[in-house]
Structure 1
Amino acid sequence: MANYPRSGSHTGFPVRSAARWLLSGLTGLLLLCGCHTQDASDASAAPAHRTSITALIWAPDWPEQMLQIAAEFSKRNPDVHVDVQFMIGNSVEENIKPRVAAGTLPDLVSVNPNAYSAELADQGVLADVSRTSAWSNMLAPLKRDWTSRGGKGFGISGGVATTMIYYNRDMFAKAGIDKLPTNFDEFLRVCAQLKRAGFTPIMLNGAFPNMLGNGPFASGFANGVVAHEPDWKSKLAVGTLDLDTPEVADIFARIALLPERGYVQAAFMTTGYDDGMRLFKDGKAAMAFQGSWSAGLLLHGNRFAVGVFIPPWNARGEPVVPVLGSETGFAVCETPNKAAAMRFLEFIAGQGFPILQRKRHNISPFRSNAGMAVSDPEIVGYTNAVSRYSITASPYYSTLPSNTLESLHGLMQDVLLKKMTAREAAKRLDKSIKNEAKMHYK
């Protein structure tokens, strides 16, 4: 900016001086105008129009990280504001369905890699993300989980999902347990040994059936159904897989057996997701049936060492079948803000992913940032080990039809509350599966 000269104390000065003064003043005025022009240019650099997108996210144990990702994205993309909303309840699907019916889906949404989400893609509700960098960078085996029958890539995985049993090494040592169980009979003996030593053997999330499904149900289905029926997935889809069997009833019976023998915490039917995690971290339960997504929380900040092992839900003499697949991920909806939502999806899977991983320590579903993302050696080793098994099962949320998922939650809780027998639960599960198949395969 130019400095204006002070006015002289006299009024009569030479014309040349006046001309110089006038020229200086005009120059200053021009410079001043130039400054205002530059300011206007700076102002025009800010986005003339700011798009606001809505993201509806399933994040029961990492809401702060999602907010951080959204804030960082908007900081780097000032033309887009992200309004983050969080799902509530017991499943992703129960949050999505009312919005699909009302036509009020957000721009970006958490989805599971299952038939329901795939159908939404083929119906034009979810956008095809197969041309994004995020899709290209996703591990090849996971892409099958996220491809619809019509060939659309309908989402990006939030991680490699596998379920395991976390255990308190100190409690196991004090109870004299020097060998991890390798089948269900041995697991029950370990529980009995822990109970005799004065410990609560295992935490059960009775008030959060999502984890009953991810935990004992999924492992029960893996070892009771998947292990004996190679074509289980296609048969389940068309309704020819028989689930009204003693083997399926035994899945429910084993869930009920744990509290019947006093192997779970008091008031287990009122234990939610966070409550259950706290019980384990506070040393009030020796084991927690959880997923790889909880590694960051369960493996760190404890007064004791923690280990993991494959849930031994197999019968004696039979090989165990672990659960391995894609975690709940992210999809873009067909809305007017699809382009901005696609940019946010790319950010979540790219620059934003380490923010997520610093909390969760899960296995990255992507190739290039796997080295950048924080993962615990214990979980990496576990996942590598189960991936080498000849037979693995999918997580329960990508196995069952969406309506059956909601039905299953109630069935498990009713069996635990002794409102229903395990055999009746199997019969109702079978009926739900067959009804869903009739609706979609007429």
Structure 2
Amino acid sequence: MKKVIIVLASMLVTSVILSACGSGSTSNTASNGAGATGDGAISGTVTFLTNRTDMIGTQFDDYAKRFHEKYPNAQVEFEAITDLDKTTKIRMSSGDYPDVVLIPTIPNSDLPKYFTPLDDLGLNDNIYFKDYKSYEGKVYGISVGATTTGIVYNKKAFADAGITEIPKTLDEFYAASEKLKAKGIVPLASNFKDQWPLYPWISEVPTSMAGDAKLNNDRMNSDTPYQMNNPYGKSMTIIRTMYEKGYLEKDVNSTNWEQSKKDVASGKFAMVMLGNWVIPQIIASGTTSDNIGFFPLPYDNSGKVNVSLAPDWAYGVNKNSENVATAKAFVKWMIEDSGFDQYAGFIPVLKDKKATIPQLQQFDSFKPVTIEAVADDPKVTDIVNHAQITKEALVQEFILAHNPQSVLDKYNAAWAKARKDILK
């Protein structure tokens, strides 16, 4: 799951956190691993490019202070953007990108062009998704955390609507949505306009329905991967049905991501379908932890459910950084010491570290079958890029179309042409 946080409008917020006793930048080579050279080699200033605009001026200030306390000769600065994937790729293509970035959607074969290996951090034997951002046996990216996707909900809104049992079938899910609508509560926040929050309906949910982590990669074997009666069509039909029945925002074209978190927190909206990472953001938007729950989406009427376990964005270190050792030290510090995974609501990427948030414990009580994500096949990535397919845009068009089959036909045609060009 990779999970992809992409929005249409780009916003740049830069926070420069300087310490009074820091030294100037010094040059380190890629061989200077953070764990191997001693703290004396960790010096200079590095910049981290992140999508967490909400942490600028708050948690990131604390991180900068604590990192400097551990490495007195080093400093970290933070640059936050919302259109992360697109903006990072543009900056990488120009050669002007920060010391530490969240690796965008590029083929793994391109990783050595931009990033330095992280194998010398001593983490390889204790992390999930070690091979996810690897190439030819070398690890170039380590996930910030693991995510699973489901329904985050406001417990009071459920109680106010008379919902006493968590839906375990799709029919029960629609019935609960009807009760919420009748009570004047918006059942599900789609964040349709912002587009990126629609990704589960074309990625995680189809994978769960198929019970196959290779579903997205298997598209390479077909000219028509998008069908009404396969996991892609069935998944998108759920969110289309929610739209048709009036279970989404009254005007889906005027939704707002930041406001939606406040609306779920207040109970104006009851649910949102996203990864566990959104839970602490909703709580921080105006409610208490015990008012927010988390359960797997019941995508059919079987009473059984699969869920996808996926890495989120992965830290990568610019191979041309002037302070590679310091950049590596910061990555390791973020994973081991920062506490970011708990703050962000992630399942820790370190195998010996357990998730502590109660919502994940509630989610696990439904005993879902976990489907661990696999890395994207480079050829599939090439086909997607060549066809210029934005998966969330596909969902948008499917939801609004008079004839959803025509949308699938359009994207299948683009896919087939790109597949022919790439695989010829």
Q: TM-score range by the shorter chain?
A: 0.7 to 0.9
Residues 364, 341 of structure 1: alpha-carbon distance in 2 compared, 3 angstrom cutoff = same
Write out per-residue CA displacement over residues 127-163 of structure 1, whole angstroms, 9 at most, x where no aligned residue.
2112213444323xx2232333x22212111111111
Residue 411 (1) aligns with residue 386 (2):
no
Residue 333 (1) aligns with residue 318 (2):
yes
Partner residue of 2:46? 53
Residue 367 (1) aligns with residue 351 (2):
yes
Larger mean CA deviation between 289-298 and 159-168 belongs to 289-298
Q: Secondary structure at the match of 1:131?
A: helix
Residue 422 (1) aligns with residue 404 (2):
yes
Residue number among 257, 280, 285 corresponding to 1:296 in the alignment: 280
Partner residue of 1:23? none
State the Cα distance separating 1:239 from its structure 2 match: 4.2
TM-score normalized by the length of structure 2: 0.77
Residue 74 (1) aligns with residue 79 (2):
no
Rounded Cα–Cα distance in structure 2 between residues aligned with 1:396 and 1:147: 11
CA contact (8 A) 1:362 1:375 kept: no
The one-letter code of the counterpart of 1:382 is F
CA contact (8 A) 2:167 2:173 kept: yes
Between Structure 1 and Structure 2, whose CA radius of gyration is higher? Answer: 1
Write out per-residue CA displacement over residues 214-262 of structure 1, whole angstroms, 9 at most, x where no aligned residue.
3x333442255x34x67535423x3437423113334333323222211
Residue 321 (1) aligns with residue 306 (2):
yes
Partner residue of 1:120? 110
CA contact (8 A) 2:188 2:269 kept: yes
TM-score normalized by the length of structure 1: 0.74
Residues 344, 188 of structure 1: alpha-carbon distance in 2 compared, 3 angstrom cutoff = same
Residues 431, 206 of structure 1: alpha-carbon distance in 2 compared, 3 angstrom cutoff = same
Rounded Cα–Cα distance in structure 1 between residues aligned with 2:199 and 2:409: 17
CA contact (8 A) 1:206 1:269 kept: yes
Q: Secondary structure at the match of 1:322?
A: strand
CA contact (8 A) 1:111 1:117 kept: no
Q: Secondary structure at the match of 1:177?
A: coil
Write out per-residue CA displacement over residues 317-345 of structure 1, whole angstroms, 9 at most, x where no aligned residue.
37422121111121112114222211211
Residue 144 (1) aligns with residue 131 (2):
yes
What runs of 5+ residues in structure 2 fail to find an aligned partner?
A: 1-20, 27-43
Q: CA RMSD in A?
A: 3.4
Partner residue of 1:389? 369
Partner residue of 2:103? 111
- Write out aligned runs for 1:2-401 (5 A): 47=23, 49-50=25-26, 51-63=44-56, 64-89=58-83, 92-111=84-103, 116-121=106-111, 123-139=112-128, 142-148=129-135, 150-214=136-200, 216-224=201-209, 226-227=210-211, 232-236=215-219, 238-240=220-222, 242-247=224-229, 248-299=232-283, 302=287, 305-313=291-299, 315-317=300-302, 319-337=304-322, 338-352=324-338, 354=339, 356-357=340-341, 359-368=343-352, 370=353, 375-383=356-364, 389=369, 391=371, 401=381
CA contact (8 A) 1:250 1:422 kept: no
The one-letter code of the counterpart of 1:108 is V
Q: Which has the higher strand share?
A: 2
Residues 81, 427 of structure 1: alpha-carbon distance in 2 compared, 3 angstrom cutoff = farther
Q: Secondary structure at the match of 1:323?
A: strand
CA contact (8 A) 1:295 1:376 kept: no
CA contact (8 A) 1:172 1:286 kept: yes
Larger mean CA deviation between 282-291 and 79-88 belongs to 79-88
The one-letter code of the counterpart of 1:235 is D
CA contact (8 A) 2:308 2:371 kept: no
State the Cα distance separating 1:191 from its structure 2 match: 0.8
CA contact (8 A) 1:252 1:422 kept: no
Rounded Cα–Cα distance in structure 2 between residues aligned with 1:419 and 1:317: 29
Count the aligned residue pairs: 378
The one-letter code of the counterpart of 1:426 is L
Rounded Cα–Cα distance in structure 1 between residues aligned with 2:362 and 2:377: 24
Rounded Cα–Cα distance in structure 1 between residues aligned with 2:395 and 2:167: 24
Residues 83, 436 of structure 1: alpha-carbon distance in 2 compared, 3 angstrom cutoff = farther
Identity over aligned pairs, percent: 19
Larger mean CA deviation between 77-86 and 424-433 belongs to 424-433
Rounded Cα–Cα distance in structure 1 between residues aligned with 2:196 and 2:375: 11
